[in-house]
Chain A
Amino acid sequence: MSEAIVTARGLTKAFETGRQQVWALRGVDLEVQPGEFLALVGPSGSGKTTLLNLFGALDVPTDGELTVLGQAVARLSKHERAHLRLTAIGFVFQAYNLVPVLTALENVEFVLELQGADSSRRTRARAVLADLGLGELADRRVNELSGGQQQRVAVARAVAARPRMVLADEPTANLDGENAETLMHMMRDLRDRFGMTFLFSTHDPRVVAHAARVVTLVDGRVARDEITPGEKR
């Protein structure tokens, strides 16, 4: 078995809300292997987004061990975590979170520019957009696109630099059924072609049906960890 992409042991995360301490994660043990297509499910407040934030090196755990792509997240400086995200992790957010003043192409190209990619970055960005069926819309401002199209741009931005892991927080929450299906097919296709690892949190059973592995969180703990019989095609 190859080295795990993510390893979490006894992972906890607490937030201060006024004088109270709220425990979002209460000892999560989880290992994610390269190329997995993993869904994090659970009720609201179960800790899905918090766990994705930690796996994405957006935050550091309160306690426990967390290794992402071979690096102990808690020991990394803010700058090192930013570098890790830039070079190895892609993000897809629930509300798309594209830069509204840029075109679809510029949104994708921006990440490549941040990585210091060479002059071919425009061609690469255009190719990724075309791959996701957005070739015609590449030069449009993102606020001129539909929700489904914006989320595809967000996926293009997340995968353009071919990261080893893509984290998606409720990626289909704002999409209708057809767009949700299309998006999941695209993400799975990218996983198949490029071997990227996909982790997504969701409430949507249609999305869960695409996952190869489903981890259920309840009250900040892993309640179930199942390998599904077969991916939906």
Chain B
Amino acid sequence: MAWIASRYAVRSVGRNLRRTALSVVGIAVGCVLALFMESLNRGRSELFARVGASSGIGHLRVVPAGWRARRDPRLRLADWQADVAAARSLSGVAVVTARARAQVLLAMGTHVVPVELAGVDPDVEPRTFRYVQHMQQGRYLKTGDAGGLVIGQTIAERLSAGVDDDVVATAVGPDGQIQSAMLRIVGIVTTGSEDADAGVCQVARPDLERLTGLPGAGEVTLVLDEFRHAEAIRGELASRVSRGDEVLTLAEVAPEIQGHFEQDAASARFVSAIILLIVLLGVASAQLAAVLERRREFAVLSALGMSGARMVRLVVQEALLLGVAGALVALAVGLPIIWRFAHVGLDFRRYMGTFAFQGVLLDPVIYGDFGPWIVSYVTLVAIGATLAASLYPAWYASRTDPAVALRVAQ
């Protein structure tokens, strides 16, 4: 074992304590910033799942064959009741609800508004669709509530309608014939986002069946106890649903929202990379200065017969010590910050108010992710960055010409 070389590396790190401290602080600051970004990114996955669970998309959804490609709301499941029963039989499933959808024209007086009307189970729907949990005007649908309609504020304004007003709903039947029904507005939803309000238009499923002449449900939505188990439950459910029906994940149902989140994550990772690059260059500069200061010493070691590879190892070993110290400081500083970020979150309400994307209301409070991954992440980033930063100084040290250095020294 190279004990003396190791002792030499340790003591060399302690030679210029101010430079070592600055390097360690630099590594730690870079790591904490990168850690924050990573926590934010992982938190985004949780936020995406939370959005899915609360906006009616669900964590998993059973859809009819062909829906994924055509997204046609008239498609119906092969046997929705069997699918609901299969979903409810699985452990880890919190809520299961069946819906049907149709493209409908709502008209009142001279006002006509095209909407996607959802036929829902009024008893279960508020547990998967948080917008209707608190009605601002009127009330929510009830089971057996024939002809009742709940709409968003935006649709109400376009129709110039209020609670207890009657509207005419017109849809195309299965054979292409026009079918109409009179519906009464029982409640109006105001989320604070025009975009989100424009997407709220619900009746009880039997009413939609009567209006469209299409029986059954077009989707079965599942909310899970833990979104991280989605893939496993999907596999299990896929083998139990009716033939022809398929199970999709949240990302497959709402790829545009997933894309939005991924774009944000990529931007955050790019920022992390820039931060780490700056840290890396700073550490490389400090390491190179340390090597240049000890040029004569390296020349002597070379004269004594130390090989270039050993010299590289020596400098890398010193960098490794800086990396470990930087990781420890980063963990000491970063853990409380990330814990707070994960439990209290960052509230963007003051800066962006209510924010919707593609009609889905996004939560303005973002939580970071806090878990055991932090230790390995910080260790990897700190040590990886310092090792990378030490490569050039190490190579430079290994190239020290003993004769030239000794001549210069004398």
Judged by a CB distance under 8 angstroms, whether B143 is at the interface is no
Q: Contact: A85 with B8, CB < 8 Å?
A: no
Judged by a CB distance under 8 angstroms, whether B18 is at the interface is no
Bin chain B's interface residue count.
20 to 34
Q: Of residues 97 to 126 in A, which have CB atoms within 8 Å of B's CB atoms?
A: 97, 99, 101-102, 106, 109-111, 113-115
Given A79-B308, A111-B304, A113-B2: A102 in contact with B8 (beta carbons within 8 A)? yes
Measured CB to CB, the closest approach of chain A to B339, in angstroms, equals 39
Judged by a CB distance under 8 angstroms, whether B300 is at the interface is yes
Judged by a CB distance under 8 angstroms, whether A82 is at the interface is yes
Stretch of A52-60, A181-189, A220-228 lying at the B interface: A52-60
Q: Contact: A49 with B4, CB < 8 Å?
A: no
Judged by a CB distance under 8 angstroms, whether B373 is at the interface is no
Given A106-B4, A110-B5: A58 in contact with B402 (beta carbons within 8 A)? yes
Given A79-B308, A82-B302, A114-B304: A95 in contact with B409 (beta carbons within 8 A)? yes
B1's closest neighbor in chain A, by CB?
A113
Q: Which residues of B contact A115 (CB under 8 A)?
A: 305
Judged by a CB distance under 8 angstroms, whether B44 is at the interface is no
Q: Contact: A58 with B308, CB < 8 Å?
A: no
Q: Contact: A114 with B15, CB < 8 Å?
A: no
Judged by a CB distance under 8 angstroms, whether A232 is at the interface is no
**Contact pick for B306, options A49, A53, A59, A82, CB 8 Å:** A82
> Which DSSP category, helix, strand, loop or mixed, fits chain A's interface?
helix
Against A, the Cβ 8 Å flags (1 = close, 0 = not) of B2-28 are 111101100110110000000000000
A105's closest neighbor in chain B, by CB?
B4
In angstroms, Cα B301 to Cα A78, docked, is 14
Measured CB to CB, the closest approach of chain B to A12, in angstroms, equals 15
Measured CB to CB, the closest approach of chain B to A168, in angstroms, equals 12
In angstroms, Cα B7 to Cα A109, docked, is 12
Judged by a CB distance under 8 angstroms, whether B410 is at the interface is yes
Judged by a CB distance under 8 angstroms, whether B310 is at the interface is yes
Interface size on A, residues (CB 8 A): 31
Q: Contact: A97 with B306, CB < 8 Å?
A: no
Q: Which residues of B contact A111 (CB under 8 A)?
A: 304-305
- Residues on B lying within 8 angstroms of A by beta carbon are 2-5, 7-8, 11-12, 14-15, 296-297, 300-308, 310, 401-403, 406-407, 409-410
- Residues on A lying within 8 angstroms of B by beta carbon are 49, 53, 56, 58-59, 78-79, 82-87, 89, 91, 93-95, 97, 99, 101-102, 106, 109-111, 113-115, 157, 169
Q: A49-B410, A83-B307 are in contact. List 6 more A-B contacts (CB 8 A).
A: A79-B308, A91-B304, A97-B300, A99-B297, A101-B8, A111-B304
User: 18 interchain pairs (CB within 8 A)?
Assistant: A53-B403, A56-B303, A58-B303, A58-B402, A58-B403, A78-B308, A82-B305, A85-B304, A85-B305, A86-B306, A94-B410, A99-B297, A99-B300, A110-B304, A111-B304, A111-B305, A114-B310, A169-B406
